[in-house]
Structure 1
Amino acid sequence: MPEGATRLHSAVRGYLDHLTVERGLAANTLLSYRRDLRRYLEFLAGRGIGDLGEVSSEDVAGFVRTLREGDPEHRPLGANSAGRAVVAVRGLHRFALREGLTSHDPAHQVRPPTPPRRLPKAITLEQVEALLAAVGSEDDPRALRDRALLELLYGTGARISEAVGLDVDDLTRLRPDARTGAEVGVVRFRGKGGKERVVPVGRYARAALDAYLVRARPGLAAAGRGTPALFLNARGGRLTRQGAWAVLRAAAERAGLSDVSPHTLRHSFATHLIDGGADVRVVQELLGHASVTTTQVYTLVTVDRLREVYAAAHPRARVSR
Structure 2
Amino acid sequence: MRIDEAADAWATHLRDVRRLSPATVRAYRSDLADLVAVIGDRELADVDLERLREWLWAGTKAGLARSTIGRRTAAVRAFFDWALEAGHIAVDPSLRLMAPKRGRTLPRIATAAAMSDLLDDAARRAADGDPIALRDHAVLELLYGAAIRVSELRGLDLDDLDSQRATVRVLGKGSKERVVPFGLPALRAADAYLVRGRPALAARRPADAPAERAMLLGARGGRISARSVYDVVARTLGPVVGSGTVGPHALRHSAATHLLDGGADLRAVQEMLGHASLGTTQIYTHVSSERLAATYRLAHPRA
CA change 1:57–1:149 in 2 (3 A) is: same
What is the CA–CA distance in structure 2 between the aligned matches of 1:16 and 1:281, rounded to whole Å?
Answer: 33
Matched, 1:153 2:143: yes
Q: For 1:1-321, list aligned pairs within 5 A.
A: 6-45=1-40, 50-69=42-61, 75-135=62-122, 136-140=125-129, 141-174=131-164, 184-224=165-205, 225=209, 226-252=211-237, 258-259=242-243, 260-316=246-302, 318=303
Deviation at 1:41, TM superposition (A): 3.0
User: Which letter does structure 2 place at the counterpart of 1:193?
Assistant: G
What is the CA–CA distance in structure 1 between the aligned matches of 2:126 and 2:47, rounded to whole Å?
Answer: 61
Q: TM-score, normalised by structure 1?
A: 0.83
Secondary structure of 2:166's partner? strand
Deviation at 1:142, TM superposition (A): 2.6
Q: Could you tell me which runs of 5 or more consecutive residues in structure 2 were left unpaired when the two chains were aligned.
A: none
What is the CA–CA distance in structure 1 between the aligned matches of 2:186 and 2:276, rounded to whole Å?
Answer: 25
Deviation at 1:155, TM superposition (A): 0.2
TM-superposition CA deviations, 1:220-259 (whole Å, max 9, x none) = 3233353111112333222212222233334347x76644
User: Which letter does structure 2 place at the counterpart of 1:170?
Assistant: D
What is the CA–CA distance in structure 2 between the aligned matches of 1:79 and 1:312, rounded to whole Å?
Answer: 32
Does the CA contact (< 8 Å) of 1:134 and 1:252 recur in 2? no
CA change 1:51–1:249 in 2 (3 A) is: closer
What is the CA–CA distance in structure 2 between the aligned matches of 1:283 and 1:214, rounded to whole Å?
Answer: 31
CA change 1:8–1:251 in 2 (3 A) is: closer
Does the CA contact (< 8 Å) of 2:11 and 2:25 recur in 1? yes
User: Which letter does structure 2 place at the counterpart of 1:169?
Assistant: D
Q: TM-score, normalised by structure 2?
A: 0.88
Q: Relative to structure 2, which stretch is displaced further, 134-143 or 243-252? A: 243-252
Percent identity of the aligned residues? 43
Does the CA contact (< 8 Å) of 2:156 and 2:216 recur in 1? yes
What is the CA–CA distance in structure 2 between the aligned matches of 1:252 and 1:173, rounded to whole Å?
Answer: 26
Choose 1 or 2 for highest CA Rg: 1
User: Which letter does structure 2 place at the counterpart of 1:293?
Assistant: G
User: Which letter does structure 1 place at the counterpart of 2:168?
Assistant: V
Question: Could you tell me which residue of structure 2 aligns to residue 177 of structure 1?
Answer: none
Secondary structure of 1:37's partner? helix
What is the CA–CA distance in structure 2 between the aligned matches of 1:301 and 1:244, rounded to whole Å?
Answer: 25
Secondary structure of 1:31's partner? helix
CA change 1:61–1:137 in 2 (3 A) is: closer
CA change 1:55–1:239 in 2 (3 A) is: closer
TM-superposition CA deviations, 1:31-61 (whole Å, max 9, x none) = 332232123234444xxx9432343334433
Taking only aligned residues, the RMSD between alpha carbons, in angstroms, comes to: 2.3
CA change 1:262–1:65 in 2 (3 A) is: same
